[in-house]
Amino acid sequence: MPSWWRRYPALFVALWRYSITREMQFKTNFILWIIVEGLWFALQIGFMSVVYSHTEAIAGWSRWQVILLVGCSHFIQQIFTAFFLTNLSDISEHIRTGRLDFMLLLPVNTRFLISFRKVDLGAFINAASAVGVIIWALRNLGHVPRPTEILGFLLLSGAGLAIHYSLMFLLASVAFFTVRAQGIVWGYYNLFNLARIPEGAFPPGIYRRVFTFVLPMILVSNVPSQVLLGTLHSPFNAFVLTALSLVTFLISEAVWRFCLRRYSSASA
């Protein structure tokens, strides 16, 4: 068995232990953050309930279908938060303070270390609440997903997660040239809210194309939700989502390597 096959899982476990220790040192902050995220999620569901008190459907989506969409969007967002949000927002600080110099000297892939250095444990609890809402919506719809639909949902959610990770990593790499890039990173994170809107609600034209192919917020949650509901009648969107996850990762890796070649350390 190659040495890296043993080394990276062991390193990941060590980083998890560090994250647990760090979180337990600030228990109040840990609990408050879970409460804040839970309230925000409840407000999203409440907002949709208010909207659907005046209409039966939006762009062909019923009330419980949209609640399921909100749950799927929140699930993907919280898994992203758990693994990547803090790490990617810290990239500019690694560059500014010189911590990146130290990371580059370690006998491990620098991108792996930067991407998985911290884990937000509270986000897993919020992701579990999203799963609860998804199940609640499915029960009200009277739909029991087949095993293939559940598997498709998980795989396509992973593809959406990969797109968010790659695009935010790409934007964070701007810090090599501007020193600080938190504004760009958090600006992209705020676009996550678009993922909870039904695809049909976006008018045809440049706006839909941008949020389908450039910043694919429409696909990230809509396609996994449709698979779970059994309403995805064409595999085209699933193919596009999967292809974009690969393309965005390759682009982010190419830009990352380009930036490292131009990087002269914080002390230069």
**Residue-range domain boundaries for the chain:** 3-262
- pTM comes to 0.88
Look-up: residue for tokens 């839970």?
38
Q: What is the largest CA-CA distance in the chain?
A: 63
What is the reported pLDDT for 267?
Answer: 58
Buried b or exposed e, range 136-171, using 16+ CB within 10 angstroms: ebbeeeebebeeebeebbeebbebbbbbbbbbbbbb
pLDDT, average across residues 55-74: 87
Q: What is the pLDDT of residues 244-254, one digit of tens each?
A: 999 999 999 99
- pLDDT computed for residue 161 by the predictor: 93
pLDDT higher than 80, residue 265:
no
What local confidence, expressed as pLDDT, does residue 158 receive? 94
Q: How large is the average pLDDT for residues 170-183?
A: 79
Position 2 scores a pLDDT of: 55
